[in-house]
Amino acid sequence: MGRRRRKVVRIPKKRLPKFFSCPMCGKASVRVEMFRDEGRAVVSCGSCGAKEEFPVKGALGEIDIYCMFTDKIYTDARRL
Ligand SMILES: [Zn+2]
């Protein structure tokens, strides 16, 4: 008896957290907006108003942009 198995291919989508925690105020209110057409991304905190813009190259994702944001904040903080 030939039994046919239906293939169920489910690709689990990893949901990114919408908000990241802010290195400035510590609240989870940092949002990364990607403008791939324009080749830039804007990171902004809805709580303390910290805002940075970064160029988006290749396959950079929200997480990468967020890392650049925290790096920059920490670098700036060290400089002051
Ligand atoms: Zn903040």
**CA 68 to ligand 1 center in whole angstroms:** 15
Q: Write out the H or E segment, with its range, that includes residue 54.
A: strand 51-55
Q: What six digits make up the tokens of 70?
A: 């925290």
Minimal CA–CA distance to 52: which of 80, 16, 20, 78? 20
For 19-66, what is each residue's pLDDT tens digit?
A: 999 999 999 999 999 999 999 999 999 999 999 999 998 889 999 999
**CA 18 to ligand 1 center in whole angstroms:** 15
**CA 56 to ligand 1 center in whole angstroms:** 22
Residues 21, 60: Cα–Cα separation, whole Å: 19
Q: Where are the domains of the chain?
A: 30-79
CA distances from 78 to 15, 41, 50, 64, 65 (A): 33, 24, 16, 21, 20
For 20-29, what is each residue's pLDDT tens digit?
A: 999 999 999 9
